[in-house]
Amino acid sequence: MKIVLIGAGSAQFGLGTLGDIFQSEVLEGSEIDLVDIDAQALEKVRKIASDFLGTTQRPFELKAFVDRKEALKGADVVVISIEVGKRFPLWDQDWTIPQQYGISQVYGENGGAGGVFHSLRITPVILEICDDVAALCPQAFVFNYSNPMTAIVTTVKRKYPDLKFIGMCHEIASLKRYVPSILETPYENLALRAAGLNHFSVLLDASYRSSLKDAYPDILRKAPAFFEKEPGYSDILAYVQKGGNIVQTEGNDEHSFLSGTRSAKSWADRTLFKTILEQYHLLPITGDSHIGEYISWAWEVADHKGIKDFYQLYQMMLSQTEHKIGTKVHERLVYILEGLIGGSPSYEEPAVNITNGSLIPDLPSWIAVEVPAIIQKGEIKGIAFPDYPKGFAALLRNYTGVYDLTAEAILKGKKEYAIQALLANPVVNRCKEIPELVEVMIERQRPWLDYLK
C-alpha cells in the first residue's frame, strides 16, 4: 500500500498512526507519505519515525512532503487529521460568542451554533484535499479524523458521491472502557453495537457471547451504581491540580485518561447522560459535553462545570503528548487496512461514518450516519438498523436539517444558508440576532469564512 497521512506534523496523530502501522505485519513493505504545511513539525515527526525504523528494522518506506499533491499521486489510502488556524482560540470563539448572543449551547465543537461555524471553517479545506484526491488517486480510501465529523462526511459525499470517504471517531471506545466493568465480564465476552450520528449515538444491541443472552437489561440495572463510583472530569481535574498525573489508556482521544482515584462520584458530570439513560432506556456512547451539543433542552440538565473541566483536561492532555513511536496498536484504522487488502478475515468495525442510504430508515438517505461495518477485501459495508428506537431517532432527525443547510452553505458559499442552518438548529433559541452573529463570526474568522457571500 501507499498510505498518505495528511496532518502528520501533529505528534499525537502522526506518531500515533505511524506507531500503529509499524506494528502490522500485513502492511509490511508499504510506503508511508507524511504531509503537513508546517515543515518544522513535519520534519520532527519524520526524524522520530525514521530513527524508529532504523532501530527496529521494520520494512517500511517513509517520505515527507509539504506539497500534498506530490504525495497523493498513486495513493491507495489517505488519512486526514487536520485543524485550521489556532485550534483552541477559534474553538473558544465558537463556544462563547454565540452564548453572548443568548444561545444556550453547552459546548462549541460539533453541534449547536459553534458546531456550524466550526463546520463552515474546516470543511472547505477538506474539500480542497478531496479535490486533489479525485484528480490524483480517485480509487483511494480516504479516512477522516477531523471534526465536525457528520458535517464533513455529509458535505464531501454530496460533492463526491463516489469517493471512498469514511469518517473515523474515537468515541466508540467508551463502550470498551465502561461496559465490561458495568457487567463484570471481559470485553471479549460481549457483542456490542451502537449507531446514530457522530457524537450523538447510543448503544443499541448488547449480548453475552458465552450465553447469547441479552445483556441490555443488566446494563440498565447496573449502570447507575457503576457511574456513582466512577470518577468524573471534575474529579480528575481536581486530582491533577493536586499533583496527580494523567495516565493515558487506549486510544489518543480526549476521553482516554484516568486519574487513578476511584472514590469520587461522576453522575454530576453526566446529568444529561443520566437523563438519556432514564428517559430513553439507552446508554449513550458519549458524555454530556458531546451529546449535549445537539439537544435543545440539554442546557437545563447538563453539568456545565464538568464540561468546562473536561475542556481544560483535554488541553492539558494534548500538551502532554509524548513525542515517540508507540509499540502497541491504539487506533482501529490498522485493522481496517489489513481487512481491506485481504490480509485478515472479515472484521466487524464498531463505528464508521458513511452515507446512510437505508441503514437507519428513520433518517434521510443523504445524511452521514455512524454505524458498525463489515470490513472485507476492498469493501466497507455498513450494518443496518431497521428497528432504530423511535424516541432517539426523533432527536437525531431534529438535527439533520442543520447538516443539510450547512453543506449547502459550504458548497454554494451562501451566507443565507448559514443563517438558515442556525435558525434550523434545535440549540438556537434566538432569531433577530442571528444575521448579526454570522457577520461577527465572519469578521472574527475572516481567513476561513470570507467565502460566504
The C-alpha atoms of residue 202 and residue 304 are separated, in whole angstroms, by 22
Is residue 51 a contact partner of residue 37, using CB atoms and an 8 Å limit? Answer: no
Residue 32's nearest CA partner among 74, 70, 66, 64 is: 64
349 sits in which H/E element:
strand 347-355
Q: How many CA atoms lie within 13 A of 17 on its CB side?
A: 29
Please, are residues 256 and 170 in contact by the beta-carbon 8 Å criterion? yes
In b/e form, how buried is each residue of 85-108, taking b as 16+ CB within 10 angstroms?
eeeeebbebbbebbeeeebbbbbb
Give 404-409's long-range contacts (Cβ < 8 A, gap of 24+).
404/154, 404/364, 404/366, 404/367, 406/116, 406/119, 406/120, 406/123, 406/151, 406/154, 406/155, 407/151, 407/154, 407/155, 407/158, 409/120, 409/452
Grid coordinates standing for 54? 532504523
Distance between CA atoms of residues 149 and 166, nearest Å: 10
Strand extents, DSSP E, 8-161: 31-35, 61-65, 77-80, 141-144
List phi, psi (to 5°) of 83.
Answer: -140, 155
| Nearest one of 365, 443, 449 to 409, comparing CA atoms | 449
Catalytic annotation on 170? yes
Residues 109 and 290: their CA atoms lie apart, in Å, by 8
Q: Which single residue is written with the C-alpha cell 469514511?
A: 166
Query: Among residues 200, 186, 193, 78, which one has the least CA distance to residue 132?
Result: 78
| Alpha carbon distance 261, 59 (integer Å) | 42
Neighbours of 8 (CB within 10 A): 29
Q: Closest Cα partner for 403 from 200, 136, 185?
A: 200
The residue annotated as part of the active site, out of 170, 255, 290, 330, is: 170
Classified as helix, coil or strand, 362 is coil
Active site residues: 170
